[in-house]
Structure 1
Amino acid sequence: MEHSTQYVIETSNLTKEFLGFVAVNDVNLKVKRHTIHAIIGPNGAGKSTCFNLITKFLTPTTGKILFNGNDITGHSSSQIAREGIVRSFQISAVFPHMTVLENVRIGLQRRLGTTFHFWKSDKTLDILNDRVLDALEKVGLADFAHEQAVNLPYGRKRALEIATTVAMNPEVMLLDEPTQGMGHEDVERVTELIRKVAEGRTVIMVEHNMKVVSNIADTISVLQRGELIAEGNYETVSNNPQVMEAYMGSADTELQGH
């Protein structure tokens, strides 16, 4: 179904307070359909809180969240996942001694509610296997399908998390610090991988690495102390004096992509 609104996710006056501390303050985001939208900012800027509000792991103090024009503020995290907003988790450590394929399949079974029905029908698993292999193909892990997850190098473990998210075929995929802790080669691989899985869907990502953001983000929202201080493409935000003062100064090394 095509939706008329060009924005897939919109937040209106989104605010979250913790015991008098305002972590997110009156944030209005507009995320365009089929774009990669990055949320950046210095530590303590409210990026993760914002992310957790959109995925309903936190409830806003005030404000609204719209998904395809519908108010989802009151929906639970599992409800919005069923509706098509799925975040990636660091799932690779959950079943280290199962294969890559089995890890993704369990993620799918949980989502489809068949977790405790392994014995029901081999056909169900075969149908899932096709979806899993398709997702592994998309993230370049097809050759590792029968490898135990524990044996994967770090960068490929992160790819496995993304594969599990892709297998659920979300309309909106949220990635939390997808390149954190990676060496240069893995960063480049995962950046390309995000570009690939973003085809035909919307990606919202919290990311520290400015090189990654400058390479793939269509729109960048910059938070500082819980407030949205700038928004636009990389050129626009990187030349914004407030952003340079708030963020770039402390992120010189990240600008080089380290």
Structure 2
Amino acid sequence: MSEPGQESRCILETRGLTKDFKGFTAVKDVNLKVQAGTIHALIGPNGAGKTTFFNLLTKFLKPSAGSIVYDGTDITRRKPAAIAQQGVIRSFQISAVFPHLSARDNVRIALQRKLGISYHFWRPIRVLDQLNQQAVALLEQVGLRNFAETPAVEMPYGRKRALEIATTIALEPRLMLLDEPTQGMGAEDVGAVTDLIGRVVKGRTIIMVEHNLNVVSTLADRITVLNRGEILAEGPYDEVSRNPEVMEAYMGARDVE
């Protein structure tokens, strides 16, 4: 969560964001503001429009109407690569690492991309050595130093997600978008990854889609609840979790906690 008293400003805003699919409206007139330096969670029942909205934010879908403003600039019509260059980096629901490369090499590739030398494999070995040191330092931040030489395919699932977070941080994002970071994990891994996110993203701006409400209650400064493509409620977890409309949407008037 953000530090108490931290000065906050709007870094991302959607205005009337809408997405239609051949007569079906998946996202309808969504107005959202995300404050810099906070963790903002998107939750909602199945079919609420969370994934569609997330794909609109990251430019994998084009909106039918409305606009997206990032740090004062309209990015509605920009390509995913263009917003990535502006510091908007997405971590996917399914672990997106190179399975047969070591953890260190996965992070090093991200560092090379940041420096603009992703495919310059003829660079002097001393340049790569320097990046190796940075890569290992990032692995240490996420508790993976002992896995530096381990191929990603051989790592436990929770460790792979930690590796993905390390590669995301290597790109020095100004805005991180985490798509179901604890999807498919057992309770032990969920706790470890939740602690990791809370530790390494401090001071960064995060938008997170997450189904696990315990994770949301632990990490999120603010929550937006979507239902049938529209904003149903918004606010801190304690307030949102007791909203009768939210309870009804999730499980028929039962508390979401």
- Residue in 2 that maps onto 1:136: 139
The equivalent position to 1:202 in structure 2, one of 200, 205, 208, is: 205
The equivalent position to 1:66 in structure 2, one of 55, 65, 69, is: 69
Q: Contact 1:175/1:204 (CA < 8 Å) preserved in 2?
A: yes
The equivalent position to 1:9 in structure 2, one of 12, 36, 39, is: 12
Q: Contact 1:34/1:198 (CA < 8 Å) preserved in 2?
A: no
Secondary structure class of the residue paired with 2:184: coil
Write the deviation string for residues 22-53 of structure 1: whole angstroms up to 9, x where unpaired: 11100011111111110000111110111111
Secondary structure class of the residue paired with 1:37: strand
Tell me, yes or no, if structure 1 residue 185 matches structure 2 residue 191: no
Q: Cα distance, 1:248 vs. partner?
A: 4.4
Write the deviation string for residues 179-237 of structure 1: whole angstroms up to 9, x where unpaired: 01111110011001111122121011000001100111100100001001100011111
Write the deviation string for residues 231-256 of structure 1: whole angstroms up to 9, x where unpaired: 0011111111110000144997x84x
The equivalent position to 1:173 in structure 2, one of 176, 184, 195, is: 176
- Residue in 2 that maps onto 1:47: 50
| Structure 1: gaps of 5 or more residues | none
Distance 1:159 1:37 in 2: 20
Change (3 A) 1:218 1:76: same
- Residue in 2 that maps onto 1:28: 31
Question: 1:10 is matched by which residue type in structure 2?
Answer: E
Tell me, yes or no, if structure 1 residue 164 matches structure 2 residue 138: no
Q: Cα distance, 1:95 vs. partner?
A: 2.7
Change (3 A) 1:131 1:251: farther
Q: How many residues align?
A: 251
Q: Contact 1:11/1:65 (CA < 8 Å) preserved in 2?
A: yes
Distance 2:117 2:135 in 1: 15
Distance 2:17 2:154 in 1: 42
Q: What aligned pairs does 1:140-151 form with structure 2 within 5 A after superposition? A: 140-151=143-154
| Structure 2: gaps of 5 or more residues | 1-6
- Residue in 1 that maps onto 2:217: 214
Q: Contact 2:113/2:171 (CA < 8 Å) preserved in 1?
A: no
CA RMSD between the two structures:
2.0
Secondary structure class of the residue paired with 1:146: coil
Change (3 A) 1:251 1:168: farther
Secondary structure class of the residue paired with 2:121: coil
Q: Contact 1:13/1:63 (CA < 8 Å) preserved in 2?
A: yes
Identity of aligned residues (%): 61
Tell me, yes or no, if structure 1 residue 81 matches structure 2 residue 84: yes
Distance 2:52 2:124 in 1: 41
Write the deviation string for residues 11-31 of structure 1: whole angstroms up to 9, x where unpaired: 110101111111110001111
Change (3 A) 1:91 1:181: closer
Secondary structure class of the residue paired with 1:11: strand
Distance 1:142 1:199 in 2: 20
Change (3 A) 1:91 1:118: farther
Write the deviation string for residues 153-203 of structure 1: whole angstroms up to 9, x where unpaired: 111111111111011010110100000111111001100111112212101
- Residue in 2 that maps onto 1:242: 245
Distance 2:94 2:226 in 1: 27
The equivalent position to 1:153 in structure 2, one of 132, 156, 167, is: 156
- Residue in 1 that maps onto 2:112: 109
